[in-house]
Amino acid sequence: MEPLSPTELRNNIYKLLDQVLDSGVPVEVRRRNRTLKIIPVDPVDKLGKFTEKRDIINGKPEDIVHMNWEKEIRLDLP
């Protein structure tokens, strides 16, 4: 993302602050030919949003190890 101007920051400050808090992605602001960065102090727990999925594999997990994957693997990729 390109650095914002102070005016853009001022016009959207609450939205941008919430965005940084929710995503953990910093926002940069350009002022007097220097860049400032707004970052969360506490890291965002991205894995905390996931729910545990049980019984995803239909069958025995050991069978996956011994599967023939030749049909699934494409060696002709550019």
Cα 8 to Cα 2, 30, 74, distances in angstroms: 12, 10, 47
Q: Which pTM value belongs to this model? A: 0.55
Which of the residue ranges 11-20, 26-35, 42-51 would you say has the lowest mean pLDDT?
42-51
DSSP-based three-state secondary structure for 34: strand
Residue 32: inside a domain: yes
Segment 33-53 mean pLDDT:
84
Residue 22: inside a domain: yes
Q: Scanning the structure block, which residue is given the tokens 């910093």?
A: 26
- Whether pLDDT at 74 is above 80: no
Residue 48: inside a domain: yes
Segment 27-36 mean pLDDT:
96
Which range marks the domain in which residue 37 is found? 6-65
Burial classification of residue 27, based on how many CB atoms lie within 10 Å of its CB (0-12 exposed, 13-18 middle, 19 or more buried): buried
Name residue 34's beta-bridge partners.
31
Q: How confident is the model at residue 37 (pLDDT cuts 50, 70, 90)?
A: very high
